[in-house]
Structure formats: C-alpha cells, structure tokens
C-alpha cells in the first residue's frame, strides 16, 4: 500500500469567486445532468470537502465536536 500524499493545509474558504463558479456550474449541471468535473476539482482544492472528514483520515475535522 502506498503512503497517502501530504497535502498542504490551508483554511477552507468559500470565496465570492468560488461561490459564483459553483452557482454557474449548478445551472449547467442541472441542464446537462452531468457533474462539472472542473468545478468539483475547484471545490476540492478549496478545502471545503475536507471539513466533514476526520483529521485522523486527512480531513479538516470540522464535522463533529470533540
């Protein structure tokens, strides 16, 4: 099993630019029925997806109080 790569930690943030990008992506995805892979990649890069993942598994650990 290969080691999990270390990812630089930064504070997750939903910036106005990302919010607008996701809004546009949602409308396009609703019409096409397909996810916008570029928008999902941007969401992943923002760190917001890691909020619900425990720190023990490499996430930001913001999902449940300790």
Cα 23 versus chain centre, distance: 15
Q: Which residue has the higher pLDDT, 11 or 19?
A: 19
pTM of the predicted model as reported, rounded to 2 decimal places: 0.64
- Tokens representing residue 47 in the block: 């760190």
**What is the chain's mean pLDDT, rounded?**
83
For residue 28, is pLDDT > 90?
yes
pLDDT in tens, 31-55: 999 999 999 999 988 888 888 888 8
Domain range summary for the chain, segments of one domain joined by +: 16-52
Q: How far apart are CA 32 and CA 4, in angstroms?
A: 34
| Residue among 38, 34, 33 at smallest CA distance from 22 | 38
């Amino acid at each position: 099993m290969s080691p999990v790569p270390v990812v630089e930690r930064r504070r997750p943030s939903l910036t106005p630019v990302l919010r607008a990008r996701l809004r546009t992506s949602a409308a396009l995805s609703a019409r096409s029925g397909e996810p916008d892979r570029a928008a999902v990649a941007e969401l992943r890069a923002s760190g917001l997806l890691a909020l619900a993942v425990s720190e023990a598994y490499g996430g930001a650990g913001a999902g449940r109080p300790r």
